[in-house]
Amino acid sequence: MGMKSGATLKIKGKITNDADGFEINLGQRAEKLNLHFNPRFKESTIVCNSFDGCWGQEQRSNHLCFRPGSDVKFIMTFEKDQFKVTLPDGHVLTFPNRLGHCHLSYLSVKGGFQISSFKFD
C-alpha cells in the first residue's frame, strides 16, 4: 500500500453479527501504527491510538453510530498533522499523526469486519 499525506481511504464492509469490535490500522508496519481505529461494542466506545514499540495514550469517543450486523462505510483522510475518520453518519473523528510520517505503507483490518471494497483517492 502506498498512501501519501493528503490521500483518502474509503472502506466499505459489514460488521459481523457477533462482533465484539474490530480494528483498522494504518502505518509503516504492524509494529509501527500511525492510526489504530478500534470500535469496541461492549464498551460502547471507539478507541484511536498509535503504536511505536508501545501504545500511546488512548483517545476515546462515545459516538458509536453503528452496531454489529451493520453495513458501513468509513472514510479515512491522512493529513500531514492528523487523521480524519468520517463515520457512517457523517460525524468526523480527528486523531493526531503522532509519528509524523508522510507516507504509509501498511493497512490491516482485524476482528468482526468483512471488507466488501476499499479505494484510495
Beta carbons of 85 and 95 less than 8 angstroms apart: yes
Domains and their CATH numbers in the chain: 3-120 (2.60.120.200)
Region of poorest pLDDT, from 16-20, 70-74, 99-103:
99-103
What global pTM score does this model have? 0.95
Burial of 3 (0-12, 13-18, 19+ CB in 10 A): buried
Q: Which tens digits make up the pLDDT trace of 46-70? A: 999 999 999 999 999 999 999 999 9
